[in-house]
Structure 1
Amino acid sequence: MSISANNSYASLREWKDENISFHYSDPFRLNEFHDQTMKKVFELALERIKPQQPPCEFSWFITGSGGRFEQGPISDQDHGLIYEISNEVNDDYFIRLGKELAYGLNEVGYPYCQGNVMSSNPLWCKSLESWKQQLLAWMEEASWETVRNLQIFYDARNLQGNELFVHELKDVIYFYQKEHPSLLKRFMENVMHVKNAVGPLGQFIVEEHGINEGAINLKYTAFLPYVNAVRLLAIKEGIYDTSTLERIEQLVRLNGYGAAMRESKKHFLDLLIYRSSLYQSKTYDDTHFLKVKKLSRVEKKEIKQILKDGKRLHHYVSELILHEWR
């Protein structure tokens, strides 16, 4: 059964479950598969609401690991809607579409976002002008929550519709932070903490209780140090691509970053491959845990290098931002 033959969420879920394992070994093919599946969800969602054609131009974007093209075998949903013009008809249409998209993604196997970053939430479903006003309000408030929302939005990648809308909104963030450099400091303060996974004697620091006992949490000890540090430099330099690897490549080409970033690209790619190996995980949370006892001696050495480089990169970026702000 081809994806084009799926005309219901249930049949699309069946197709997804039958085919996703063919892409486990390649993180790039895996993310192309997720994109393909979510685009089909969008088509089905349009068919289920009336009228079927959107009343104006729009962008449906995904964010989080999906926006960064870094999803694992199991992924939740993070997405939003931007539409061209706000009026009663358009506002009603797109919030209904947003609710249908969130429902459809959940039915197909992408669980609801616990943080409510979904098109069904009016905070993430707005007209282009309302989005601009909201981004400015978030930056002016610069609280922990609003800075977190800005970080989430900066990972937005257009999946359907007009990709220029996302680009235009990232312009708002970039030019504001150029005029208000203290905002970068607030971004850094939001992600200062890095969970240690390697002790002072070189030993792994693993989970001590529960079903993940003896495992390290790759999300918090490995992924986030790289993702947060590289995103911060991307905001600073006006890099709108969302993939951490692509952001690193662009930073390497800029004066001053090459020496600090080259090794990080290799280590982050290795990390994506290790995470793809967690294909037997049953839930989204389980996909973040790597059992240390199952690793070979060589793999343990590689993981430690990845973890140490992530912490080094995170420290490098924090020192850079804080030094420039002073």
Structure 2
Amino acid sequence: MQNEAQYKELKEWRSQHIQAYLTDNKKLNQFHDELMRKVFNKAFQTIKKQSGEPPCAFLWFVVGSAGRREQGVASDQDHGLVYETKSKKYETYFKSLGEELSFGLNEVGYPYCEGNVMSSNKVWRKSLEEWEEQLLEWMDSQSWESMRYLQIFYDARSIVGEEKYITTLKNKVHDFKKGHPTLLRRFLDNMMHVKKAVGPFGQIFVEDNGAHKDSIHIKNAAFMPYVNSVRLLSIKEGIHATSTLGRLSELCLLPGYKELKPYYENFERLLSYRVSLFKASTTYDEVHYLNIKKLSKDEKKEVKHILKNGRKLHEYVQKIIKKGC
């Protein structure tokens, strides 16, 4: 029962208000949360009219940049559902809700996830019992894809509903890790490749041609080395925070991790750059590219420093994980 008209006003509301939140990453992501909850309320009312009240307790969670509170001006959708009780009847209800949520988010400006990490996909919509089984299956599997799914799940953050479900499920990962220390090495193997962003003579490697000539893919070259490295240390240490800055804050309080403080500052600056430099970006593709030629001399120097340190952090985490395995 998908109705474009009911989401049109939310799309207009987004266009009218998002400009007020482009000076601060925290405020921008609070705005995204507010908008996603508004979408949820619309979708939920639609399903209630169709199928009645939810048959059991549930949780709607977000992952990806939304889970980490690191969304830019434009962002795709990444989310899932957990419902309390395993039942074919209940699955039918939450399937309808998941499909309506994915539709509604797309209508207001969050494009469908190319990787299909959405509540409309059965892989990301399960009962609590099925989620526990799914996590165990992923952790037991030797496939690259399973490790990728686990990394995605570990960024899960409650947006509506029973937050305790996420804690319960992440504790399953930590319990498994204690009995299977090689799990961390498998996570590491999954994130080994980091594209070199800065050359031996200090030159930044940019796109040579096409629509993004003279630009770097800021998500792959800058964000992901920090995000993946810090997530892995957080899994190792049992940290439940989802934002990269939140994880770094908690890690810095632990013995042996004080040297991570400069990386906190690097990532904080990276988030600021994205907010300030991508105000004019309107599409999900645009926010991933940074044109180096448009930077001032000082900005270019700082971006280069952030890129080089992202690689250093990745190498630092490799040593820690390999030492412990």
Kindly indicate whether the alpha-carbon contact (under 8 Å) linking 1:77 and 1:105 is maintained by their aligned counterparts in 2.
yes
TM-superposed CA distance for 1:282, in Å, is 2.9
Q: TM-score, normalised by structure 1?
A: 0.96
Q: Secondary structure at the match of 1:178?
A: helix
Matches within 5 A, 1:63-102: 63-102=63-102
1:3 corresponds in structure 2 to none
TM-superposed CA distance for 1:17, in Å, is 1.0
1:180 corresponds in structure 2 to 180
1:150 corresponds in structure 2 to 150
1:274 corresponds in structure 2 to 273
2:285 corresponds in structure 1 to 285
Can you list the C-alpha shifts for 1:232-286, whole angstroms capped at 9, x where unaligned?
0010111011000000000000001111x10000000000011112121232021
Q: What residue identity is the alignment partner of 1:242?
A: T
Kindly indicate whether the alpha-carbon contact (under 8 Å) linking 2:77 and 2:118 is maintained by their aligned counterparts in 1.
yes
Kindly indicate whether the alpha-carbon contact (under 8 Å) linking 2:73 and 2:282 is maintained by their aligned counterparts in 1.
no
Matches within 5 A, 1:175-254: 175-254=175-254
Q: How far apart are the structure 2 equivalents of 1:101 and 1:63?
A: 14
Kindly indicate whether the alpha-carbon contact (under 8 Å) linking 1:60 and 1:159 is maintained by their aligned counterparts in 2.
yes
Q: TM-score, normalised by structure 2?
A: 0.96
Kindly indicate whether the alpha-carbon contact (under 8 Å) linking 1:46 and 1:52 is maintained by their aligned counterparts in 2.
no
TM-superposed CA distance for 1:83, in Å, is 0.4
Q: How far apart are the structure 1 equivalents of 2:233 and 2:142?
A: 18
Q: What residue identity is the alignment partner of 1:76?
A: D
TM-superposed CA distance for 1:89, in Å, is 2.1
1:303 corresponds in structure 2 to 303
Q: How far apart are the structure 2 equivalents of 1:53 and 1:319?
A: 51
Q: Secondary structure at the match of 1:53?
A: coil
Q: Secondary structure at the match of 1:242?
A: coil
When the two structures are aligned, how many residues end up with a matched partner? 318
Q: Secondary structure at the match of 2:51?
A: coil
Extract structure 1 runs of 4+ deviating beyond 2 A. Answer: 50-53
Kindly indicate whether the alpha-carbon contact (under 8 Å) linking 2:105 and 2:111 is maintained by their aligned counterparts in 1.
yes
1:107 corresponds in structure 2 to 107
Kindly indicate whether the alpha-carbon contact (under 8 Å) linking 2:135 and 2:150 is maintained by their aligned counterparts in 1.
yes
Q: How far apart are the structure 2 equivalents of 1:212 and 1:281?
A: 13
Q: How far apart are the structure 2 equivalents of 1:52 and 1:228?
A: 41
Instruction: Give unmatched runs, 5+ long, in structure 1.
Output: 1-6
Q: Secondary structure at the match of 1:8?
A: helix
Q: How far apart are the structure 2 equivalents of 1:54 and 1:210?
A: 49
1:48 corresponds in structure 2 to 46
1:36 to 34, 37, 41: 34
Instruction: Give unmatched runs, 5+ long, in structure 2.
Output: none
Q: How far apart are the structure 2 equivalents of 1:73 and 1:94?
A: 29
Q: What residue identity is the alignment partner of 2:144?
A: W
Kindly indicate whether the alpha-carbon contact (under 8 Å) linking 2:60 and 2:158 is maintained by their aligned counterparts in 1.
yes
Q: How far apart are the structure 2 equivalents of 1:283 and 1:88?
A: 38
Q: What residue identity is the alignment partner of 1:273?
A: S
Kindly indicate whether the alpha-carbon contact (under 8 Å) linking 1:226 and 1:313 is maintained by their aligned counterparts in 2.
yes
TM-superposed CA distance for 1:51, in Å, is 3.1
Can you list the C-alpha shifts for 1:174-219, whole angstroms capped at 9, x where unaligned?
1101110111111001111111221110011101121100011110
1:322 corresponds in structure 2 to 322
TM-superposed CA distance for 1:309, in Å, is 1.0
TM-superposed CA distance for 1:52, in Å, is 4.4
Kindly indicate whether the alpha-carbon contact (under 8 Å) linking 2:68 and 2:244 is maintained by their aligned counterparts in 1.
yes
TM-superposed CA distance for 1:88, in Å, is 2.3
Q: How far apart are the structure 2 equivalents of 1:201 and 1:88?
A: 60
TM-superposed CA distance for 1:304, in Å, is 1.0
Q: What residue identity is the alignment partner of 2:225?
A: P
